[in-house]
Structure 1
Amino acid sequence: MTKIQIILIFFIPTILFSCRENKRDKAEVKKSNPQMINAVKKVGVADTLIFKDAGLATLVSHTEKLFSVFDTISPFGEYYIKKFKLNKYDIDTLYKYNSDDSIPHSPKILGFEATGILSGMICNDLEKILGWTNIDQYDLRLLLKNHLSTVRSPDGKLYSFGFEEKTGGSYKSIISYIHYKSDNNKSITINDQDNTIFNADGYYSIDTINTNDGVKYLLKGNVQGCDQCFGFYIDLVSFDKGRFIKDFSYNLGSRNFEGPDEMSSDFITYDSKQHIIKIRYITDDQTPTCNCGKHGSISEDSEEEDNRTGDITCIYKFNGKTFVLKNKKAKRLRS
């Protein structure tokens, strides 16, 4: 899969902020999500969470304060640090990690520096919240619902959380977390830094498929990779013996977001009744050929190759364990 070129990459302090260290290096068609492109989807639930644990309530309130500043900052702006409505420790942290060395203890901070530091602080809080004892007794769709894009699986066990990284680049990267409550009531939280199973930019929908081997989760997402390029992706995962396994994956890059004629804006559709995945797209420089592998996208090191171009359709059918290619076609476009 051709990797999306990230046009603008800014230096962000790495101390304390491990959740973002390697994200930009992983920008392969970092694959997108209609609801996450251009803006982060908000959860449409009116209720709020009331936490029984005062420590947890305080932590969530602190994260809310960080988001209240983060959400108002433009990466292209410049700000007086002392005007941020944060506590002394957070203000001091912004001073400490502000990389403007031209003025010692500079009173101002560039927007992309501020969003980088604040997002790291938010990540630290989120990891503590999601790792909190008995956190799964709450409906986490309501967690920080004005700031996080959140989706939950139908069985209530798997969550995807995300918020836009706001680097200022044309790649609208998402900071994402996967949270799972296993059958033994132990929680697992995965961030996007060293994740190899889930897409680093998160998801906007999660479906379930019941099989003889247990429940499998089908997750869909997308992201804007540059000014005119988008990525779309779908992953099938299962949880077995304490770890997640990727059973199927398809990633698509495109210069178009509207899609070919007769299509919706979603290039990847799933029929939950027939368990069929349909991919349809017009070839371009992002995906220049027919990309219909037998078990998902053709990988970069695959010997399988199909040089047909035009209006491409790939049909995958679930066989009880994974999705396998049942049909592919390439329709030539009229010049």
Structure 2
Amino acid sequence: MKILFTVILLPIIVFGQTKSDFEKLIEETNQYLNQYSLLSPFADEYYSISTFGLSKKEIKEDFEDEYYDEMLSENKDSIQSYYMIMYFQRKITENINQIVKHPYFCKVSIKELLNSNELSIVVSEDNKLYNFSFDEKTGGTYRSRISITHYTEFFPQDSTQLAEFNSFFKSDGYNGIFTLKTDEGTKYVLTSSARVCLSCFETSVRLITFKDNEFKEEFKYSVSSRDWNEGVSYNHETKTIAVDYHIDDLTPQCYCSGETDEDKFSFDVFADNEYSINCKCKFVFNGKTFELVEESWKKVDNGNRKK
């Protein structure tokens, strides 16, 4: 009877420790995110170390070293702001990578637990593909983000395979992940948008599939534009991709199929300031991939366009 009791009790104890470790990771990550949200690349040059709520152990391990002397103030109680930005970036990234590998990860709603406004989390409807991203805080006009993508059924065999997985996904992350069930298996639609300079905006839609322990891209359309309200978008209800933009110096051609007819679809964007060219495309998912069903372009009076 005593042996039976021990066999039953052991999994309960192990489960309790696993949950406790996971909860500690979540709490710690939320603390790091909250501290990171207070940092700005435009703030004062130094931050007081005591303002970050770090434990004595963390301060001893991370700041009491000759390597950090040049980053500290003269009396060594404050540290350069750019280092604290990188410090919390590293801590947040390390913790997220631990969280997604934890056995308790698949038992919870991670979006409810990591609820800081600093962190964006998008999840596929089958709860298998995750993307975490947050502002890199470089202070530049390119609003770059730090992105971590996780797929529950990907098991890297070596560092090369892991590197290939990471390079497959956009470094700035995604604002949407949608699941498509097909005869060929599950496919995912990824949508993204990014500000890459003061007046440069990039939008993108990708169709990907997972097979033989790797992702492959089956369709992609992206647009670089001067107008935030233009570009490429995806409607999951109708499984339709809509492209709508005016040609400019970033995208000086109007085409949908990928095969450009120079006479028909290429224009001198600086030749006539009175008119501009509006390009439109429409793609519909046909059960396997996105198929072009409509394409058009027209001259637009710039005076009417600005009204």
TM over 0.5: yes
The answer as to 2:52 corresponding to 1:81 is: no
Deviation at 1:269, TM superposition (A): 2.8
Report the equivalent of 2:30.
64
Cα distance in 1 between the residues matched to 2:26 and 2:246: 44
Secondary structure, aligned partner of 1:64:
helix
Using the TM superposition, give the Cα deviation of residue 187 of structure 1 relative to its aligned residue in structure 2, in angstroms: 6.8
Moved more, 98-107 or 249-258: 98-107
Determine the structure 2 residue equivalent to 1:288.
252
Q: Is the 8 A contact 1:59 1:129 kept in 2?
A: yes
Shift of 1:270: 2.6
- Kindly tell me the number of residue pairs found equivalent between the two proteins: 268
- 1:289-323, CA deviations, whole angstroms, 9 ceiling, x for partnerless residues? 225244xxx8xxxx886424611112223233222
The 5-angstrom pairing of residues 253-264 of structure 1 reads: 253-259=224-230
What SS is found at the alignment partner of 1:196? helix
Kept in 2, the 8 Å contact 1:151–1:206? The answer is: yes
- Please list, as runs of the form range in 1=range in 2, the aligned pairs for 1:1-40 lying within 5 A after superposition: none
Distance 1:291 1:68 in 2: 45
**Which stretch has the larger CA shift, 212-221 or 82-91?**
82-91
How far is the alpha carbon of 1:214 from its aligned partner?
Answer: 0.9
Q: Is the 8 A contact 1:178 1:191 kept in 2?
A: no
Contact 1:154 1:208 in 2 (8 A): yes
Q: 1:326 aligns with which of 293, 298, 301?
A: 293
Instruction: Name stretches of at least 5 consecutive residues in structure 2 with no aligned partner.
Output: 1-15, 270-276, 303-307
**Alignment of structure 1 residues 38-117 onto 2, 5 Å:** 53-77=19-43, 78-92=46-60, 93-94=62-63, 98=68, 100=70, 106-117=76-87
2:167 maps to 1:196: yes
Identity of paired residues, percent?
29
Aligned-partner Cα distance in 2 for 1:217–1:223: 20
More helix by share: 2
Residue 238 of structure 1, CA deviation: 1.1
Residue type of the alignment partner of 1:319: N
- How far the C-alpha of 1:138 sits from its partner, in A, is 1.3
Q: Of the candidates 307, 311, 315, which is equivalent to residue 266 of structure 2?
A: 307
Which protein is bigger by CA-based radius of gyration?
A: 2
Q: 1:290 is matched by which residue type in structure 2?
A: C
Change (3 A) 1:247 1:130: same
> Does the CA contact (< 8 Å) of 1:76 and 1:110 recur in 2?
no
On the 8 A contact 2:195/2:201 being kept in 1, the answer is yes
One-letter amino acid matched to 1:71? S
Please list every run of at least 4 consecutive aligned residues from structure 1 whose deviation after the TM superposition is greater than 6 angstroms: 102-105, 190-194
Give me the CA root mean square deviation: 3.1
Aligned residue number for residue 201 of structure 2: 230
**Is 2:155–2:213's contact at 8 Å kept on the other side of the alignment?**
no
Aligned equivalent of 1:275: 239
Q: In the alignment, is the contact (CA less than 8 A) between 1:66 and 1:86 conserved in 2?
A: no
Q: Aligned partners of 1:282 and 1:203: how far apart in 2?
A: 24
Unaligned 5+ residue runs, structure 1?
1-49, 260-266
Partner letter of residue 137 of structure 1? K
State the structure with bigger RCO (CA 8 A, min sep 6), 1 or 2. Answer: 1
1:110 maps to a residue whose letter is Q
| More divergent stretch after superposition (212-221 vs 155-164) | 155-164
Q: 1:216 Cα deviation (Å)?
A: 0.8
Segment drifting more, 117-126 vs 94-103: 94-103
* CA distance in 2: counterparts of 1:313 and 1:95, whole angstroms: 58
**Cα gap change, 1:334 to 1:100, in 2 (>3 Å):** farther
1:178 pairs with 144, 149, 163, which one?
Answer: 149
Supply the AA of the counterpart residue of 1:121.
Answer: K
Q: Which amino acid in 2 is paired with 1:68? A: N
Q: What letter is aligned with 1:275?
A: K
Q: TM-score, normalised by structure 2?
A: 0.76
Q: Which has the higher mean CA deviation after the structures are superposed, 250-259 or 217-226? A: 250-259
